[in-house]
Amino acid sequence: MHPELLRTHLQGLNRRGALALAGKAMAAGAVGSMIGGCSTEAPPGAGQPAGQAPPPPPPGDPTQFIDVPFNYDDIPAWVPGPYGPGDQRGALNNINPEKVAKALELARGAAVKTYNLGEQMFNGFPAFITTPPRTYEQRLTVTGYEPGDRFRAEGGILQSTTGLGDNKASVHEERFAASQVGQFPPLATTYQIGCQLDGLGHLGAGELFYNGFRGPEIARGWGLGGLGGETVGPIITRGVLLDVLGVKLARNDRSALGPPAKNGRPVMANNYRITIADIEDAMEFGKIAAVEPGDAVLFRTGWNQLLASRDPDEMKRWNAVAPQGNGLPGIYLAEARYLAARRPAIIASDTWALEVLGNEVNSPAANGGRTILFPVHQDLLMRFGIRIGESYVVDGPAEDKKYLFTFIVTPQYAQGATCGNTPPAALVAI
């Protein structure tokens, strides 16, 4: 998520420009040897002991496919969260030792092929333009509420006390760079760039974040004092690939496709909304019986192909809020809640936002005249404790028709980090 500067850019834009910018301101032995000596136990903060029966569904009714942001009056009913008071891991609690063992069975074979699902980082990698820019002295940035005195005393960076949009989206991000202690600039690097897994403390509503954690209480100058990167741990689970692009190509449905990338590869149309019907079609296409608790659900749209040529115009198209950007494909609230009802641990995409941007559903006209920014992030992270993966490259498994696999990612073990940008891996038997 890259939210800074949205308010400045939204002012004075025409409707089309506003829609565009509202985008992102937002074998088995081999496997055993690879993970040998590494614990998959949940770190402190887990609310679900191993072997305990799964908790009841999250509060509310996520099966109501109504494309409206949540009602702020309902927030008190969301606490405690679905995994108990004090929990900081959310739906990751569904990944217990038995779940890991079943996931590793998907990689059992005489030989195992490993796919790197992450983008290769390179000089000039496109990212949302921010101040300070995204380019190791870590500092926390806050948007959307007034942090406490400790945050300021420790060198925290306040972007704005005003939340993004009428849904009051608030944002935590880190900034860090090589500099001497006490010399904060330049602070340009962040884990919120490229292939990343958003943490539960990344985006909220005003002062409120997942499970009742409040921004002024957890914001420190150096990072998050709760819901930080240290609460995640290694993730090994079942990966589920929803190849929406593959379905459209197989059906020759060109209406869902945009101009191909400069390398000739197909790309879904910018601002295409992936529907519940698309999700179910992709499940049938991949012979996926069901999305199960603890799964990592990954969408394929082909959007990552826009980075292959390193062409500046292609990278502007990739970045929906760049001057030539006008949206990107993804899910919206109905689809997010459809999946949330099945309690996956992660929902990810090969785009940089997961949710659709620049679509009519993002317009004020569709939201009672209000500007609603990143409501899918609010629902998944804040309400359901489901982490969001961005810029996950899934072409390899898709081309080999591997729609179920062992999914592995080890986000940075960084205290107070708002996300981790280590690339995940998919393991399948060959």
User: 13 pLDDT band (50/70/90 cuts)?
Assistant: very low
User: 126 pLDDT band (50/70/90 cuts)?
Assistant: low
- Dihedral sign, Cα of residue 274, residue 275, residue 280, residue 285: negative
Tell me what percent of the residues of the chain surpass a pLDDT of 90. 63
Q: What is the pLDDT of residue 69?
A: 75
Q: What is the pLDDT of residue 309?
A: 94
Q: What is the pLDDT of residue 87?
A: 94
Candidate CATH numbers 3.50.30.50, 3.40.50.150, 3.40.309.10, 3.40.50.1820; the one for domain 6-45+58-429: 3.50.30.50
Q: What is the pLDDT of residues 257-268, one digit of tens each?
A: 999 999 999 999
Tell me what percent of the residues of the chain surpass a pLDDT of 70. 77
Q: Which two tokens stand for residue 364?
A: 């004020």
pLDDT at 96 over 60: yes
Characterize the bridge pairing of strands 203-205 and 169-175: antiparallel
* Residue-averaged pLDDT of the chain: 83
pLDDT at 117 over 60: yes
Provide the whole-model pTM.
Answer: 0.76
Q: What is the pLDDT of residues 162-182, one digit of tens each?
A: 999 999 999 999 887 654 444
Q: What is the pLDDT of residues 179-208, one digit of tens each?
A: 444 444 556 678 999 999 999 999 999 999
Give the domain ranges of the chain: 6-45+58-429
Give me the mean pLDDT over the 363-379 stretch: 94
More confident: 76 or 264: 264
Give me the mean pLDDT over the 236-244 stretch: 97
Cis omega before residue 424 (within 30°)? no
Ramachandran category for residue 17: left, alpha or beta (phi over 0 → left; psi -120 to 50 → alpha): alpha
